[in-house]
Amino acid sequence: MNAKRKLIREQTVEELAEYLKSNNFPSFRAKQIMDWLWKKNVGSFEEMKNIGKNLQEFLNSNFIIDKVSLKDQQISKDKTIKCAFEVDKNSVVEGVLIPTKKRMTACISSQVGCSLACTFCATGRLKLLRNLSAGEIYDQVYHLKNEANTQYQKSLSNIVYMGMGEPLLNYKNVLSSINWICSEEGLGMSPKRITLSTAGISKMIKKLGDDEVRFNLALSLHAANDEKRNKIMEINESNNLDSLRDALTYFYEKTKSRVTFEYIIFDGFNDELSDARELAEFAKCVPCKINIIEYNPIDGEPFKQAQEDKVNQFALFLESLNMIVNVRRSRGKDIDAACGQLANKNKAILLDERKLKQ
């Protein structure tokens, strides 16, 4: 067996075809193999029934299928489904299916852990262990798509890269996963059904513009002055609001795609009308909409959800300035599946189970 087996889903069809040809296999098998990997989402070469045993054995010797497996699944009172996906022997990531009357949304992870340490986010307490591959990201979507069909008899309508990790710090694999999700050889979804959420990395937002991406961009803002944003998001110290404004303007000029600003509203921190005024001033830099998000408490943090009347006044003020505003209510709180709560408690359980077996 080749000790340096490659991830087969990192190969393009053309690369795989050339590799097969150079090893005396028909190059047309590459498309069949890719169909099994992406469209049918198989986890082994033995499941590829139409390629022959010799080729199956050759692929096993030279490639790995980086398939995730379902470790645990919980269903909330509001029908939100949280899945813990085992991605290797030591790591688990979480993905969430969020059903509403109008949408069926998959919230997926792009990294094992996170390096940004935002103070209000449970995932930020975890160390970054590694990036997920394009295939591992895709598998989450594939599974949640099946859950939507099986549990609720509805098709998956939207995908948000808002789970564990910072997508723009795993740029290549995230964009590759989106390409396969949107490809007719994959899931065939429209890029306009996909939203990538970032904590704000200016140079990578500009790169999205240079690449003229067709999916949606959301910025986790949460404060529209640098002093406050620095307190809750370390990334702002190296990517301040001026640099983000420039990057977003550049992104819009390149893509003509409206930006979403996400604003978690905290009691006594960023819930005053003066904060709303600062938000409105910043948001004028590009055509946008604003999502005001309920804060979901995590253990050991002093933040609290803003009072409902404050939230309503905040939203009404922004609407009075002709801004598009949505107040997002939390889903899946009872199973720690809501925004900011993906702390991967299942990982600790998984590791403890393994220690007991040793």
What does the DSSP assignment read for 199-264? S--HHHHHHHHHTT--SEEEEE-S-SSHHHHHHH-GGGGTS-HHHHHHHHHHHHHHH-PPEEEEEE
Query: What's the pLDDT at 330?
Result: 63
So what's the pLDDT on residue 336? Answer: 56
Whether residue 162 is found in the same domain as residue 71: yes
> What is the pLDDT, as a whole number, of residue 66?
96
Q: What's the CATH number where 52 sits?
A: 1.10.150.530
pLDDT digits 0-9 by tens, 36-56: 999 999 999 999 999 999 999
pLDDT digits (tens, 9 = 90+) for 243-290: 999 999 999 999 999 999 999 999 999 999 999 999 999 999 999 999
**Together in a domain, 55 and 75:** no
Question: Is residue 336 included in any domain, yes or no?
Answer: no
Instruction: Tell me what pLDDT residue 340 has.
Output: 43
Q: What is the CATH number of the domain that holds 256?
A: 3.20.20.70
Task: Establish how many alpha carbons lie within 13 A of residue 119's alpha carbon, considering only the half-sphere containing its beta carbon.
Answer: 15
Question: Which pLDDT belongs to residue 337?
Answer: 47
Q: What is the pLDDT of residue 301?
A: 67
pLDDT score for 352: 34
Would residue 128 count as lying in a domain? yes
Angle at 291 between CA 288 and CA 292, to 5 degrees: 140
Residues composing the chain: 358
* Full-model pTM: 0.91
Q: Do the Cβ atoms of 59 and 33 come closer than 8 Å?
A: yes
Whether residue 176 lies inside any domain: the answer is yes
Residue 192 tokens read as 């306009």
Report the catalytic residues: 94, 339
Residue 199's φ and ψ, nearest 5 degrees, are -75, -15
Q: Are residues 74 and 53 in the same domain?
A: no
Strand partners, 97: 81, 106
Asked if the structure places residue 335 within a domain, the reply is: no
Asked if residue 82 lies in contact with residue 109, where contact means CB atoms within 8 angstroms, the answer is: no
Residues 135 and 54 occupy one common structural domain = no
| Intervals of the chain under pLDDT 50 | 1, 335, 337-342, 344-358
Does 184 lie in the same domain as 73?
yes
Residues 181 and 209 in one domain: no
Residues 209 and 326 in one domain: yes
Is 134 in the same domain as 237?
no
Same domain? For 180 and 214 the reply is no
Q: Are residues 236 and 211 in the same domain?
A: yes
Say how far apart CA 166 and CA 163 lie, in whole Å. Answer: 8
339: in domain: no
pLDDT of residue 333: 57
**How many Å apart are CA 283 and CA 293, to the nearest integer?**
16
Say which residues have a Cβ less than 8 Å from residue 185's Cβ, sequence separation at least 6.
Answer: 34, 35, 38, 39
Residues 92 and 165 in one domain: yes
- Based on the structure, what is the number of domains in the chain? 3
Residue 351 in any domain: the answer is yes
Q: Which domain holds residue 270?
A: 199-330
Q: Among 44, 64, 84, give the residue marking a domain's end.
A: 64
- Helix 134-152, helix 171-182: angle, nearest 10: 40
CA dist., res. 232 & res. 307, Å (int): 20
Q: Is residue 209 part of a domain?
A: yes
d(CA 96, CA 338): 9
Domain stops at, among 16, 45, 64: 64
Q: Is residue 337 part of a domain?
A: no
pLDDT of residue 328: 83
| 244/173 same-domain check | no
